[in-house]
Structure 1
Amino acid sequence: MTRHASAASRRGRSNRWLPFALIALVLTPAVFGTLRLIGLAGGPQLMPADPRMTASPVPLIVHIVSALGYAVLGAFQFSARFRRRRPGWHRAAGRILVFLGLAVAVSALWMTLFYPRQPDTGVLAFLFRLAFGSSLAASLVLGFTAIRRRDIVCHRAWMTRAYALALGAGTQVFTKAIGPAVFGTSQFTLDLSLGAAWVINLAVAEYVIRRPRHRRINQPIDRATAKAGS
C-alpha cells in the first residue's frame, strides 16, 4: 500500500506541473506572436515587416489571440487535480476552448488559402497546413459531440488530439531547427520539419490516450466532472 501511495504521490506532483510544461512549450511562438500584435497595433516594429500580414491583418490577429488563449486555458484542462477541485470550471472553460480552438483552426485555414505562400515553403507545407488545420476543427467538433452524449473517454481523446494539433507551433521551434541542421537547408526539408511537429504531437497524444494506467486513473475524476456538469 505504501508503494502505491508513493506512486500516486509522484503522479500527483508531475500532474501538478503539466499545465506549466505545456505553456512553456508555446512560450517562443507566444512571444513572437505578441510582438507581431504590437507592430500591427501601431507600436514599435519589433518583428520584420511581412506584407502578407499587413495587407490583411484581421485573420492573423484572430489566430494569435485565439491561439494564446487556447494554449493557456487548455493546459489546465489536463490537470486532474484542477478538474477534481473545480469540476464546474472545467465544463465552463471547455465551452470557451471549443470556440477558441475553432477560431484557431478557421483563421489558420483562411491564411493558408488566401495569404500568399510563406517564403521558402512549398506545396507540401501548404497541404500539411490544410490537413492539420482541418483535423483540429474536426477533433473539436467530435470532442464536443462526444461530451453531449456523455461519452467521456471519447471526449477526452478528441480534445487531447485537438490540443496536440494546436500546439504544433511550439514543437516547430525545435523541428525547424533540427531538420535543416541534420538534412540541410531546402524547401523540402523545411516543409517536412513543419509537418513533423504535428506528427510528433499527435504521436504523443495517442500515447497518452491509449496508456491504460492514464485512463484508469482519470476515469473516476471524469465521471465526477460529467456529473457536476450535467
Structure 2
Amino acid sequence: MTRREWRLPAALILLSLVPVIAGAARVTELGTGPEVTAGNARFVADPVPVVLHIVGAVVYSILGAFQFVPSLRRHRWHRRAGRILVPCGLTVALSGLWMTFAYDLPAHDHGVLTWIRLFFGSAMALSILLGLAAALRRDFTRHRAWMARGYAIGLGAGTQAFTLAPYMVATGEQPGANARAGLMLLAWLVNLAVAEWFLRRRARPRQARRPLVVAG
C-alpha cells in the first residue's frame, strides 16, 4: 500500500466526520432520556428510524471509504466489507424515506425539500441494488460505478455542512425553506458530479494518463 492511494479514503472519512459526530450526539441524547423540545420531539416519540439511519450511516460512510483503496479491492476484504455495506446503505436510504413520511417535520423541511429527499433516498437505494446486481453478473465496471454513485448520495450530509454553513455565517440566520432546499440539493449534486468525474478519470486508458516524454 502507498500513501497516495489512501488520500481519497482519508478525505472521505474527514467529510463523514461532521454527520458522524452529530449522529453520535443524537443517539447519545436519545439514550439518556432527554427533555422533549420542539427540535427533538419527533425523535423522542419514535427513535427507531433515526437510530437506524444514524448507525447505518456511520458504518456505511466510514467502512465505505476503504472500498476506494485500490490494493484492498484486490483482496477478499473488499467482498466481505461489501456484505456489510449493502445492508447498511439500504438501511440509510430506506430509513431516510421512512423519516420523511413518518415524522412531523419542521416547516423548513417541507415542500420542495421533501421531494428532493424522496428522490435522492430512492436513487441511493436503486444505485446500491443496481451495483449489487452488476456484481452478481460479474460486471465489475458497472458495479463500481453504481456503488460509487450510491456512496456519493450517502455522503450528502457531510457536504451539506459545507453548503449550509457559509450561508449561516454570511447571513447570521438559518436558511429559509427554499434556500435550505437549494443548498442541500447543491450538496448532493456536487457529490454526484465528483463521483462521475472520478469514474471517468479511472476509465481512461492508463497510457492516456501517462505524461508525455519528449526525448532531448
TM-score tier, shorter chain, comes to: 0.7 to 0.9
Q: CA deviation at 1:120?
A: 2.2
Q: CA deviation at 1:179?
A: 4.2
CA displacement 1:144-187 (0-9 Å, x = unmatched)? 00010010110000000000000000000011123456688422
> Structure 1 residues 79 and 136 mapped into 2: Cα distance closer, same or farther (>3 Å)?
same
Q: What is the 5 A alignment of 1:1-230? A: 12-42=2-32, 50-84=40-74, 87-179=75-167, 185-211=175-201, 213=202, 216=205
Aligned-partner Cα distance in 2 for 1:28–1:56:
24
> Structure 1 residues 49 and 39 mapped into 2: Cα distance closer, same or farther (>3 Å)?
farther
Q: CA deviation at 1:27?
A: 0.5
> Structure 1 residues 216 and 148 mapped into 2: Cα distance closer, same or farther (>3 Å)?
farther
Matching residue's letter, 2:130: L
CA contact (8 A) 1:136 1:162 kept: yes
CA displacement 1:43-88 (0-9 Å, x = unmatched)? 677x98510111100000000000000011100000002223xx11
User: How many matched pairs?
Assistant: 203
> Structure 1 residues 69 and 216 mapped into 2: Cα distance closer, same or farther (>3 Å)?
farther
CA contact (8 A) 1:122 1:187 kept: yes
User: TM-score with structure 2 length normalisation?
Assistant: 0.86
Q: Counterpart of 1:120 in 2: which secondary structure?
A: helix
Q: CA deviation at 1:15?
A: 1.8
Matching residue's letter, 1:80: P
Matching residue's letter, 1:120: H
Higher helix fraction (1 or 2) = 1
Q: CA deviation at 1:199?
A: 0.7
Aligned-partner Cα distance in 2 for 1:121–1:76:
32
> Structure 1 residues 43 and 52 mapped into 2: Cα distance closer, same or farther (>3 Å)?
closer
Identity, % of aligned pairs? Answer: 46
Q: Counterpart of 2:101 in 1: which secondary structure?
A: helix
Runs of at least 4 residues off by over 2 Å: 81-84, 118-122, 178-186, 213-217
Matching residue's letter, 1:51: A
Partner of 1:224: none
Q: Counterpart of 2:188 in 1: which secondary structure?
A: helix
CA contact (8 A) 2:128 2:146 kept: yes
CA displacement 1:104-141 (0-9 Å, x = unmatched)? 01100000111112342331110110000000000000
> Structure 1 residues 200 and 210 mapped into 2: Cα distance closer, same or farther (>3 Å)?
same
Q: CA deviation at 1:17?
A: 2.5
* Structure 1: runs of 5 or more not aligned: 1-8, 218-230
